Every structure is written in C-alpha cells, then in structure tokens.
Structure 1
Amino acid sequence: MRTLRELVTFISGSPQFRIQESLATNAPRYVYYGQSDLMDDLMSMRSIQVDSKEVRTKDEVHTLSYGNVVFSLITGQATIVRRAHDGYLYTQNYIKLLPTSTIDAGFLVYLLNEDKSIRKQFFIGLQGSQVLKYTLQQLKEIRIEELPPLDKQQQIGELYLKQLHLTALKNRVAELEKIVCLANLAEAGRR
C-alpha cells in the first residue's frame, strides 16, 4: 500500500488575499477557477453560465492547463481540466495534482471521488473539525491500494468520466422536459 504522495506531485493554488490587483491595461487578466468550473469539467459540459470573477495582476500566479487534475479542498472532489478552463487562475482552495507515469489521470479522479476506502480516510480526517475543509497534508497521506495495470486504469477512468457526462446529459434533458411541461400546463390553465 502506498500513499498518494508517492504517486502524485502537488501544487497548491495562489493565495487569493495576496494577489495584488493591477489597474494597468497591460497586466495579464486571469479568470478564477471556481466550484462551478470544477463541476463543468467533471460532467464534461457547460452549466448555465455563472459570471466568473476576474483579476488583472502582474503577480506570478498559479494557473491550470488543459488535462491537469485538480482537487477541491472545499468539496473533496477531483476532476480533469477541460480546454474551456485552460489558463484559469486557481486559488489556495484547490490543489493541482500531477500524476506519475504509474497512475492514469482519469483513474486518479475516479479513486478520489468514488473509492470507499479513500472516502473513509477523508471522513476520519474531517471528524472533530469545526470547518469541513480538506487539507493538503490529509490528501498527501491518503493510502492507495494496489493499482491495476495502466491499461485497466485508463479504461476505468474513461468509463467513469463518460458515465458522469451521460448522467449530466440525462439530468439536463429531464430539466428541460420539466420546463416544457410546466409551460404547457401554464398555457392550458390560461385557456
């Protein structure tokens, strides 16, 4: 059994309170990566657009790239960054995880989000806490069972992410059907 620190390099996000906003028009502009972005990436679809917070700064900040694995210290969820969020600034509420060649990114997301043993370890680590927030140290110490072969990991990770996307699509269809039905009922009530 290994710990996650043996399989992953961790890069903490930029402390938001230390970022000095610049009024200079030549200062780079960044969009903050938030929880709705993480959920969009996890479901592989865009939710109803939420106004994303932006900042112009000349400070050196941490950004995400397409294909990165990111973990939320707030919700304990992981995802793979999609192209739509390439270059987004991530704060101290998120950790970028760079897997070694022995673990597939999609499989890592599956493990962190769904594995019962890992969920139990997280739960035990949160007991007694006033604020339910995960820590980098807690993440590093997660114990991982023996990994399947890389090709099996890739299959599991790909199937997991496709299933999340399919579920999100079905939920969206159901929501749209409900809207149409309610509009039809309202129209019938006016006749």
Structure 2
Amino acid sequence: MNLLTVVKLSVGMSLYRVHELKNEHVPKYFIYNQSDLEYDLSGVDTSKQANKVIRTADNVTVVRAGDVVFSLISGKAAVVTNKHEKYLLTQNYIILSTDSCLESKYLVYLLNENASIKRQFWIGMQGSRVLKYTLKQLQNLNLPVLPTNDRQKLIGEIYFKQQQLKLLREMNVKRKYELGVIQLKEVNDDERR
C-alpha cells in the first residue's frame, strides 16, 4: 500500500519567503530544528543551544502536538510533543497526517526502523550527490501490511520507550567517561606535585 493512501503530506516553508518583522506586537515563532525532533523522539532534552526565533505576521506552517514530523536532512521521524506546539516548520521537514487506520507512533517506527522502507529510501538516493531525503521519496513509499490498531499502538509505545532508554543509556556512558577523564586528570596532577 502506498503511503499516500493513508497519509497526507504537508511541507514546511522556506524561511526566505517569510517576512521577518522587528515589531514586538506581531507573533513570535520558535523554529523547529533537529534537536527538537530528537527530543520529540526520545523525550530527553540534550540540546545546549536555544532555538532561532522569528517574528512575522505571515501565515506560517506550524506543528501541533501529535503531528508526525519527518526530517528531510536526517531521514528520521518523530511525534511532536506539547513542548514544541506551534513551532514554525521549515522546508527541511514534512508533516505526515495519518488517518484512523495508521497510528502516529507506529508510523514513526516504520519510517525510522522498517528494513523495507530503509531500502526504498536508499534506492531513491542512488546517484544523488547530496544525501538528503525528498518529498518525492516519501510520496513513493510503499508500506508493509499494517497490523491492527491495537498492535500498532503497542509497537509504537514500546518503540518510543526504547528510544528514551537508548538515549538515557548513551548519556550515562558519556557521563561515566567524563568522570573517568576527570579522575585521571586528578591522578596525573597529584603525580606532578
């Protein structure tokens, strides 16, 4: 089954087309970025930098909590959390609106992990110089046979919990390494005295 039979795609907008204003009375938007997507996927905030902010009176594309967002840069998808509600979406991201036969978290699992979908993306990138995903690749994706909605919900929930656990483990390993380096520095400093 083609992705477009169960999903509607909406592309973010180019920032070059947004008329930025300095007026504090016009709406302010944070720009959705890769760190936001990683947070939405794992539930863990690892970003150390603030989002870019833009003020505009233009009609812009914003994300809503529960939207599935796909990054054309990384090829990863996530479900937008409440934290990123109403963030402005650039042309590097696509919103995938699902119908009732496809659960959002299950769709994220398929886009990020399914071997058949990964192969379709890989084939679509053959011959391209820039490794960037495209709208056309998404439009041409064929999905595997979908399980029942209950099974999709279960798989999607487990997948998101696994993403959170994976990131927490990686952070723990990094902190242990950093602690070890600090301890080695202290031992080294003690030897010099």
Q: What's the TM-score once normalised by structure 1's chain length?
A: 0.96
Alpha-carbon RMSD:
1.0
Q: The residue matched to 2:54 in structure 1 has which SS? A: strand
Using the alignment, how far apart are the partners of 2:76 and 2:184 within structure 1?
Answer: 39
Q: Which runs of 5+ in 1 are unaligned?
A: none
* Alignment correspondent of 1:132: 131
* Alignment correspondent of 1:42: 41
Query: Displacement of 1:167 after TM fit?
Result: 0.7
Using the alignment, how far apart are the partners of 2:64 and 2:109 within structure 1?
Answer: 19
Q: The residue matched to 1:169 in structure 2 has which SS? A: helix
1:86 aligned onto 2:93: no
Give a deviation string over 1:33-58, Cα, whole Å, max 9, x none.
Answer: 11111112112110032221111111
The ranges of structure 1 where at least 4 consecutive aligned residues each deviate by more than 3 angstroms after the TM superposition are none
Using the alignment, how far apart are the partners of 1:171 and 1:181 within structure 2?
Answer: 15
Tell me whether 36-45 or 87-96 shows the greater mean CA deviation. Answer: 36-45
Tell me whether 42-51 or 97-106 shows the greater mean CA deviation. Answer: 42-51
Aligned residues: percent identity? Answer: 41
* Alignment correspondent of 1:104: 103
Q: The residue matched to 2:145 in structure 1 has which SS? A: coil
Q: Which runs of 5+ in 2 are unaligned?
A: none
Code of the aligned partner of 1:83: N
Using the alignment, how far apart are the partners of 2:19 and 2:100 within structure 1?
Answer: 36
Using the alignment, how far apart are the partners of 1:51 and 1:24 within structure 2?
Answer: 21
* Alignment correspondent of 1:168: 167
Query: Displacement of 1:16 after TM fit?
Result: 1.3
Give a deviation string over 1:43-82, Cα, whole Å, max 9, x none.
Answer: 2110032221111111110111111100011111100111
Tell me whether 128-137 or 20-29 shows the greater mean CA deviation. Answer: 128-137
1:25 aligned onto 2:31: no
* Alignment correspondent of 2:114: 115
Using the alignment, how far apart are the partners of 2:83 and 2:145 within structure 1?
Answer: 34
Q: Aligned residue pairs: how many? A: 190
Code of the aligned partner of 1:156: I
Using the alignment, how far apart are the partners of 1:145 and 1:169 within structure 2?
Answer: 31
1:10 aligned onto 2:9: yes
Query: Displacement of 1:137 after TM fit?
Result: 1.9
Q: What's the TM-score once normalised by structure 2's chain length?
A: 0.95
1:152 aligned onto 2:151: yes
Q: The residue matched to 2:9 in structure 1 has which SS? A: strand
Give a deviation string over 1:160-181, Cα, whole Å, max 9, x none.
Answer: 1100100101111111111112
